[in-house]
Amino acid sequence: MVTKSNLKKDIPVKLDLELKKKIDEFISKGENRFDYPSVKNFVDKAVLKMLKEVENG
């Protein structure tokens, strides 16, 4: 059951090492450093964008 207090917590997710390496390389280049200050931030934004695209079909 999801409670209100559970919604505010971050849930750790393990990433494939090669995927994490690719994300690290991407976010360390040029303007990406400012748009995505961390791997978590990149993953959060990428997943949110993908979910919006899927929902809007």
pLDDT in tens, 25-47: 999 999 999 999 999 999 999 99
The CB density around residue 31, as the number of other CB atoms within 10 Å, is 7
Say which residue the tokens 């750790």 belong to.
Answer: 12
∠ CA 11-3-10, rounded to 5°: 15
Longest CA–CA separation in the chain, Å: 42
pLDDT in tens, 7-26: 677 888 899 999 999 999 99
Q: Domain boundaries in the chain?
A: 15-56
Say which residue the tokens 């917590």 belong to.
Answer: 9
